[in-house]
Amino acid sequence: MTEVVRLREDMCRAAASLFTRGLTGGASGNISVRLPDGGLLVTPTGQSLGALDPGRLSRLDATGRLVEGDPPTKEMPLHEAFYETRSRTAAVVHLHSTHSVALSMLPGVNADNLLPPLTPYAVMRLGKVSLLPVYLPGDPAMGEAVRGLAGRRSAVVLANHGPVVAGASLEAAVYAIEELEETAKLALLTRGLSPRLLSPDHVAEIVARYGVEWE
């Protein structure tokens, strides 16, 4: 099995898992993975993550030109911006997961760090999560907003839209976006209840011990 064939199968398997567990519905959400030749393998536009065909995934060359498969997701500006600004990025996952979207619509949230420090794993896997403004789907301005972060964030949430996470592997990106959604759910469940948060000292210890990007 070649590396590209393995990545095709891994992408479809991860996408189906996310869809089956209700983390994105309908034809929403998209995934991309960096290929050994510098190109990208991308989920096609308008297709459900629960029913992808490995042979029809969009394959782009290193210049972004479609060389094989169906047309890619219209959210390519998001993906391209993460690859351009974070050299360690090997995969990008974008979902329309319910709790993350709900949290993004509430007043009084911290746009620089959307998730409260509720669990160690949220800090470890995500660092700070920036809340970006509302954009129409596919708007190139989404990519410019990510570029404006200058590579300082591996995860963002588009207001009224959904989370986007870049990872050092497809597995890492999937695990991180799952952690983001679970933490958003915890934030909603405990909102207004004065939950016991991790202390600044606990956060600082996690950041130092696990090399978390935290500015």
Q: Which residue has the tokens 């095709």?
A: 8
Nearest-angstrom CA–CA distance, 46 and 148:
28
Active site amino acids: 75, 121
H/E element, 67: strand 66-68
Nearest-angstrom CA–CA distance, 11 and 41:
9
What does each C-alpha distance from 29 to 48, 62, 122, 170, 193 come to in angstroms?
8, 23, 21, 15, 32
Burial grade of 134 (CB within 10 A; 0-12, 13-18, 19 or more)? exposed
